[in-house]
Amino acid sequence: MSRIGKNPITLPAGVTIDIKDNVVTVKGKLGELTQEITGDITVNVEDGIIVLDRTSESKDQKAKHGLYRALINNMVVGVSEGWTKQLELVGVGYRASNQGQVLDLALGYSHNIILELAPEVKVETVSEKGKNPIIKLTSFDKQLVGEVAAKIRSFRSPEPYKGKGVKFVGELLRRKAGKSA
C-alpha cells in the first residue's frame, strides 16, 4: 500500500466534508475547496476520519492513492488553519508595498512591477529599517499561495554570487565564489 495513502485524515472541529459523484467538497471557517477524484479511488468518511481506498495494485492507482490523500489533507488543513508563504527581498533599493490586493514591487528594474492578486490571497508587507522587506501571503488554498509566491519570485530570482533577489524566508541558496584575486 501507499505509505501516504493509507494514513487516515482526522477532521478538525468546524470542518465538514461532502462527497458527490467523485467530487470532494471541504468546508471550514476560512473557505470552501473542491477536488475531483479520478480513477478507482474511493473516499470514505466515518466518525470524523477520512480513509481513501483503491481497488487494484496498479502503478497508476498507487500513485493516485497517495496524491489524492495529500490533496484532501491539504484542503482540510487549509480551510481550518490556512497556509502562509513568506518572501524576502534581498538587495539594495528593493522595496514592496501593498494597497489592498495590489502589490507594488521595486526590484531594480526601470519600472515598478504592479501585481494584482486573487481575492482569496491576503497579502501583507513588512518593511523595517535595517532589515530586508518581507511579503506575507496567506490563503486557504495551498496551490494558489504557492503559485502566487512562485510568480513573485520569478520577477527576480536570487543570483548565486551575492544572493540578491526575491527568495523564500529560510531558503538556502547555493552560493558561488567570485573571481579569485
Question: Domain tally for the chain?
Answer: 2
Per-residue model confidence as pLDDT tens for the chain (181 residues): 468 888 999 999 999 999 998 899 999 999 999 999 987 889 999 998 999 998 888 888 888 999 999 999 999 999 999 999 999 999 999 999 999 999 999 999 999 999 999 999 999 999 999 999 999 999 999 999 999 999 999 999 999 999 999 999 999 999 999 888 5
In a domain, residue 176? The reply is no
pTM over 0.85: yes
**Domain check: are 75 and 89 in the same one?**
no
Q: Is the dihedral of CA 113, 114, 120, 125 positive or negative?
A: positive
Owning domain of residue 40 = 9-80
The DSSP-derived string for 106-171 is E-SSSS-EEEEPPTTSEEEEE--TTS--EEEEEES-HHHHHHHHHHHHHHSPPPTTT--EEEETTP
In a domain, residue 126? The reply is yes
